[in-house]
Amino acid sequence: MNQIIESISMPYLDTQQNPILLSASIGLSHFPDNANDIEHLIMCADAAMYEAKKSGKKRWNEYQFCMEKSLKRLSDLAQNLSLAERNNELSLHYQPIIDITTDQITSFEALLRWYNPDLGNTNPQEVIDVAEKTGLIRDIENWVLNRALKDLLTFKQIIGQHITMAVNISGLHISEPNLGNYVFSLLKRYNLQPADLTIELTESVLLTYIDAAESPANQMTKQGIKLSIDDFGTGYSSLAYLHAIPASVVKVDRAFLNQTENNTVALECIQTLLSSLNMKSLIEGIETKGQASLLHSLGFNLQQGYFHGRPEPLDYYLSEFLTK
């Protein structure tokens, strides 16, 4: 198998003499140990191939019992997810972002939820993973953008005109040239301002597009949309590049809340650095009053977490605010 993979991976030249690089992931199944018919044998080999892919490129794997269950799960999710929007199975829950100095909601983060009658409630990260693998991510995130901005109008009416909306966008989607045009068409449709929207991107995605002047991320920030670095401190070592990232908000990962007292110095340094760069700091994962108070004392005035409010559908907030 290794010789086959190495042979496939040998570079070759196209008609313009440009090198073309390939890699292979191979799955093996055995007759009759794994299956007695060709259809099941292929399914087992396919499952083993996907397990090889998970381990990295240029690998092979032999089928092990129950591997096909994960492949069937992926197939079921992909098939049903492609129909989820049409069947009205997608919804959004909104988690509040609090300014602890005033104890008021300043923004909401839109979080995707998917309920399917056969599959039940699906883990949100699993939904995103499947959407990226199947090419559905663009349509799904466009649906999220549209629904979140439409609902923002309602939040502004029931809470206040200062409320803004944060939406997560994947690396695959942010690279699409037409994303900016779509976002601005939505803002125009709902009579919203660019500053009403914050796009959340991970460190790795933002760092990928630092030098791309014409990237959708840079184009949107130039026209007033805010960018937020999501899960800061968990991925790339981006301190050296932080000044070059076109972000106005840095969302510090909840991992720093584990043993908060031991991470106090690190949090103080992060807050000082962000302040010097005129970036706002937001910390997520607040679960107790003690955490909220300690982080407030360190300068983290924008906070998000179960202590301040769980993700809830729009109807929940309508009930909360219209009955007051």
CATH of residue 24: 3.30.70.270
The domain that contains 245 carries what CATH number?
3.20.20.450
- Which range marks the domain in which residue 23 is found? 2-65
- 107 and 204 in a single domain? The answer is yes
Q: Are 36 and 137 in a shared domain?
A: no
Asked whether residue 48 falls in the same domain as residue 134, the answer is no
Instruction: pLDDT tens for the chain, 324 residues: list them.
Output: 888 888 887 777 767 776 666 778 888 888 988 888 888 788 788 878 877 776 666 788 888 877 666 667 777 888 899 999 999 999 999 999 999 999 999 999 999 999 999 999 999 988 998 898 888 999 999 999 999 999 999 999 999 999 999 999 998 888 888 999 999 999 999 999 999 999 998 877 777 666 666 778 888 999 999 999 887 876 555 566 777 778 899 998 888 887 666 788 888 988 998 999 899 999 999 999 999 999 999 999 999 999 999 999 999 999 998 876
Residues 145, 282 within the same domain: yes
Task: Kindly state whether residues 163 and 254 are assigned to the same domain.
Answer: yes
pLDDT at site 156:
97
CA pair distance 250, 186, nearest whole angstrom: 25
Domains: count for the chain: 2
Residue 128 lies in a domain: yes
What is the dihedral angle through the alpha carbons of 312, 317, 320, 323, rounded to the nearest 10 degrees?
-150
> CA 318, CA 324: separation in Å to the nearest integer?
10
Integer angstrom CA distances of residue 87 from 78, 94, 115, 118: 14, 21, 10, 13
In contact, 163 and 105? CB cutoff 8 Å: yes
Q: Are residues 132 and 26 in the same domain?
A: no
277 with 138, same domain: the answer is yes
Q: Are residues 53 and 97 in the same domain?
A: no
How far apart (Å, rounded) are the C-alpha atoms in residues 319 and 54?
A: 45
Whether residues 153 and 249 share a domain: the answer is yes
| Residue 92 backbone dihedrals phi, psi, to 5 degrees | -120, 140
The model carries a pTM of 0.80
For residue 230, being part of any structural domain is answered with yes
Q: What is the 3-state secondary structure (H, E, C) of the chain?
A: CHHHHHHHCCCEECCCCCEECCCCEEEECCCCCCCCCHHHHHHHHHHHHHHHHHCCCCEEEECCCCHHHHHHHHHHHHHHHCCCCCCCCEEEEEEEEEECCCCEEEEEEEEEEEEECCCEECCHHHHHHHHHHHCCHHHHHHHHHHHHHHHHHHHHHHCCCCCEEEEECCHHHHCCCCHHHHHHHHHHHCCCCHHHEEEEEEHHHHHHCCCCCCCHHHHHHHCCCEEEEEEECCCCCCHHHHHHCCCCEEEECHHHHCCHHHHHHHHHHHHHHHHHCCCEEEEECCCCHHHHHHHHHCCCCEEECCCCCCCECHHHHHHHHHCC
142 and 50 housed in the same domain:
no
